[in-house]
Amino acid sequence: MRKAKISDLKDVQRLINEFARREEMIPRSINELYENIRDFFVAEEDDRICGACALHILWEDLAEVRSLAVKKECQGRGIGKKLVKKCLAEAKAMGIQRVFVLTYQSDFFRKLGFVDIDKSRLPQKIWGDCIRCPKFPECDETALIVTL
């Protein structure tokens, strides 16, 4: 697990957009990844990217875990959990008090201490990324939040 480098971003984009094609997350352009590279952690095995996750700061006390993606053949080994924990540790070190996620994998995040929250309590998110989602405004993801 480490912070992403420029050389990782094409692999990260392929991984994220594979999930996006199945409408499991928002697609990310390569430009967007370059602009937000400092948000990303990657998991690497045998010099290949097998997972990615980002911590995106939205406000002085609020951040989002986003774009969590782990290659299918690497799932079930704790990689996603480790990536989320890296993001939460970074948020805590930065003094961020609350971290949320919008997800179809709510049980995964509940096991990490996240609790359900009404999406209407996340206005910065709803009018930020979500407006670009093909499912907007009929979002069927679950919103969860953790207090650090």
Locate the domains of the chain by residue range.
Answer: 2-147
Q: Which long-range contacts (CB under 8 A, 24 or more apart) does 68-71 make?
A: 68/25, 68/101, 68/103, 69/15, 69/16, 69/18, 69/19, 69/25, 70/43, 71/15
Note the pLDDT tens digit of each residue in 36-58: 999 999 999 988 999 999 999 98
Q: Is the pLDDT of residue 119 over 60?
A: yes
Q: Give pLDDT, residue 34.
A: 97
Q: Which of 17, 58, 61 is nearest to 36 (CA)?
A: 58
**Angstrom distances, CA of residue 141 to CA of 45, 64, 124, 135:** 30, 14, 16, 10
Q: Is the pLDDT of residue 123 over 90?
A: no
> Which CATH code is given to the segment(s) 2-147?
3.40.630.30
Q: For the residues 94-103, what does the mean pLDDT come to?
A: 95
Q: For the residues 119-133, what does the mean pLDDT come to?
A: 64
Name the token pair of 77.
């080994």
Note the pLDDT tens digit of each residue in 54-81: 999 988 999 999 999 999 999 999 999 9
